[in-house]
């Protein structure tokens, strides 16, 4: 789930990618193409090779001209148990001040998004969710570098809904894998603006990622070495999830559920 892509990029067109819902947004082509490149750029003689280049099919849903929950519901209608759904979106943290220092967190902060994600995971779909980029929004020089502390967050109802702890009755679990961003250099420490807390399931590189890119006109031969943010970290985890499912199914004849 994203808003724009260039499906006929030279390192993607062999997948025959389809748009199942919403309207493609040209200004998001670069971002979406970079994400797909990380996951599934084909193993040919040019450019990059994605983490899971031999994935059997690739489909997209856009929340441009729609909403994120409706896009997730449209994805659910076209997915089956064990399939993997990546949510490339972030939202302003409720209660955060607007302006350059607004906090950006995972889309499940909003009730309608949470409900759609929970439905997906209840149906056995593996949902990978970008954790949001704090105040940075992947900008190396925002007004202030502030991460989103999921443990300390209090929602509009007064609940610590993202604090995953056995003693916290307020916690609500969507079942999604929430991803934060770490440095590309060893020992891969959390980037200063990246979200943190017990609810974060894992980290991926949030900087210096080699992948595809495009432009508003749909360039098909462009690449970058500087993709990042939780937008770059979450496709790494998505690719890993696809490979794990493939290995498990090959060995045992069935796929893992989100709870596994």
Q: What is the tens place of the pLDDT at every residue in 200-247?
A: 999 999 999 999 999 999 999 999 999 999 999 999 999 999 999 999
Phi first, then psi: give them for residue 8, nearest 5 degrees. -95, 20
Segment among 85-89, 136-140, 202-206 with least mean pLDDT: 136-140
| Cα–Cα distance list, 121 to 25, 111, 117, 127, 174 (Å) | 27, 15, 6, 7, 7
Other CB atoms within a 10 A radius of the CB of residue 101 amount to 14
CB 13 within 8 A of CB 7: yes
Q: If residue 202 lies in a helix (H) or strand (E), which one and from where to where?
A: strand 202-205
The β-bridge partners of 21 are 61
In whole numbers, what is the pLDDT of the chain averaged over residues? 95
What is the reported pTM?
0.96
Q: For the residues 190-205, what does the mean pLDDT come to?
A: 96
Q: CA 174, 146, 86 angle in degrees (round to 5)? A: 35
Cis peptide before 187 (omega within 30 of 0): yes
CB 133 within 8 A of CB 143: no
Above 90 in pLDDT, residue 139? no
User: What DSSP letter does each residue of 142-201 carry, written as one string?
Assistant: -SS----BTTT---TTS--TT---TT-TT------EEEEEE-SSTT-PBPTTS-BSTT--
pLDDT band at 2 (very low <50, low <70, confident <90, very high): very high
Above 90 in pLDDT, residue 256? yes
pLDDT in tens, 9-65: 999 999 999 999 999 999 999 999 999 999 999 999 999 999 999 999 999 999 999
pLDDT in tens, 154-182: 999 999 999 999 999 999 999 999 999 99
CB 195 within 8 A of CB 105: yes
Supply the pLDDT for residue 142.
63
| Cα–Cα distance list, 157 to 32, 58, 109 (Å) | 34, 38, 12
CB 214 within 8 A of CB 30: yes
| 1: nearest Cα among 47, 82, 59, 80 | 59
Torsion angle (degrees, nearest 10) of CA 185, 42, 5, 142: 0
- Among the four given CATH numbers 3.40.50.720, 3.40.50.200, 3.40.50.1220, 3.40.50.800, the one describing domain 13-252: 3.40.50.200
> Pairing mode, if any, of strands 59-61 and 84-87?
unpaired
The β-bridge partners of 182 are 190, 205
> Pairing mode, if any, of strands 59-61 and 18-21?
parallel
Kindly give the interhelix angle for 68-76 and 111-122, rounded to the nearest 10 degrees. 10
């Amino acid at each position: 789930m994203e808003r724009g892509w260039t499906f006929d990029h030279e390192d993607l067109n062999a997948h025959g990618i389809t748009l199942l819902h919403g309207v493609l947004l040209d200004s998001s082509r670069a971002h979406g193409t970079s994400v797909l490149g990380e996951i599934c750029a084909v193993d040919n003689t040019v450019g990059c090779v994605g983490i899971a280049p031999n994935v059997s099919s690739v489909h997209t849903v856009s929340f441009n001209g729609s909403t994120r929950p409706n896009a997730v519901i449209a994805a659910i209608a076209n997915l089956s148990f064990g399939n993997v759904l990546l949510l490339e979106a972030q939202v302003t943290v409720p209660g955060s001040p607007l302006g350059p220092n607004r906090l950006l967190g995972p889309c499940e902060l909003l009730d309608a998004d949470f409900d759609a994600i929970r439905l997906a995971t209840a149906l056995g779909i593996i949902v990978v969710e970008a954790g949001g980029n704090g105040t940075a929004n992947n900008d190396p020089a925002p007004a202030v570098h502030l991460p989103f502390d999921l443990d300390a967050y209090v929602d509009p109802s007064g609940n610590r809904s993202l604090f995953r702890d056995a003693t916290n009755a307020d916690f609500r679990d969507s079942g999604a894998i929430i991803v934060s961003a770490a440095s590309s250099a060893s020992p891969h420490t959390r980037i200063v603006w990246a979200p943190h807390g017990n609810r974060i399931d894992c980290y991926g590189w949030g900087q210096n990622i080699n992948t595809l890119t495009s432009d508003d006109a749909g360039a098909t031969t462009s690449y970058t070495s500087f993709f990042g943010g939780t937008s770059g970290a979450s496709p790494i985890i998505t690719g890993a999830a696809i490979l794990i499912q493939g290995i498990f199914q090959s060995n045992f004849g069935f796929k893992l559920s989100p709870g596994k």
